[in-house]
Amino acid sequence: MSKATGKMLIFVLAGVRFVLDLDHVVEVLEQLSGRLDMQHSDLRQGIVAALEFRHTAIPVIDPTLHLGLISDIGLSQRSTLVLRSSEGNWAILVDRVEGLAPTTLFSRAHVPALLRATPDYADIQVLLVEDAPLMVFEPERFYGIHRAPV
């Protein structure tokens, strides 16, 4: 969980709530229609568009492709989180941002052996808020040299 800011950002994708360490977030952008260049996509890499951000074209990843989720929110209504990484800024599309919460609000959910035995859940972390699960979004799974294939 977040060490520097002590906060987590909560967002929703296809009805599933995720939490992301705020330390990864550069900026939250909304109403992006017109700023996304769909010509620069590479679906094998999970990249659905390029985004002009601070005079640089950065890759935009749609995490639903990797997660097997289907979002029914139109592209123009989705939000974008610009994230930092050692390879530069990049962005993910999300359905909506719910807000920020202090890390102290969350407790860790126990993921049983029944799920841990499946490859996708081997090291996934799930947090709880009032007994509701939120998946920890780990950016390195989606972009960069350690990214899992789509």
Partner 1 sequence: MTAFGLFQAGELDYAVPLTQIRRMIQGNTIYPLPLLPAGVDYVLIYESTLVPIVFPGQTGDRVVGSPEAECFVLVDSEYGALAFATQPNSRIIADHKGTLSVPRQRKSPWQVGTFYYQERAFKILDVDVLAMEITRGNGSICLTLSGARRLNEEEAAAGR
Q: Which stretch binds partner 1 (CB under 8 A): 39-47, 52-60, 74-82, 106-114?
A: 106-114
Nearest Cα residue to 61 out of 97, 23, 93, 14: 93
**CA-CA distances (angstroms) from residue 89 to 50, 72, 77, 106, 139?**
11, 26, 22, 27, 12
Give the Cα-Cα-Cα angle 138, 89, 73 (nearest 5 degrees).
65
The binder of partner 1 chosen from 54, 118, 145, 149 (CB under 8 A): 118
Q: What is the DSSP string of 6-37?
A: -EEEEEEETTEEEEEEGGGEEEEE---TTTEE
Q: Does 70 bind partner 1 (CB under 8 A)?
A: yes
If one counts every other C-beta atom within 10 angstroms of the C-beta of residue 108, the result is 11
In the bound state with partner 1, the residue whose beta carbon lies nearer, of 97 and 111, is 111
Does 111 sit near partner 1 (CB under 8 A)? yes
Amino acid at 84: R
Give the binding range for partner 1 (CB under 8 A) out of 31-39, 86-94, 96-104, 115-123.
115-123
| CA 17 centroid distance within chain | 10
User: Which one, of 101, 62, 67, lies nearest residue 80 by Cα?
Assistant: 62
The reply on whether position 65 binds partner 1 by CB under 8 A is no
149 binding partner 1? (CB under 8 A): no
Binding residue (CB under 8 A) for partner 1 from 3, 86, 117, 145 = 117
Closer to partner 1 by Cβ: residue 113 or 145: 113
Give the residue, chosen from 6, 88, 99, 133, that forms a contact with partner 1 under the rule CB under 8 A. 133
Site residues (vs partner 1, CB under 8 A): 14-16, 67-70, 107-115, 117-118, 120-121, 124, 126, 128, 131-133, 135
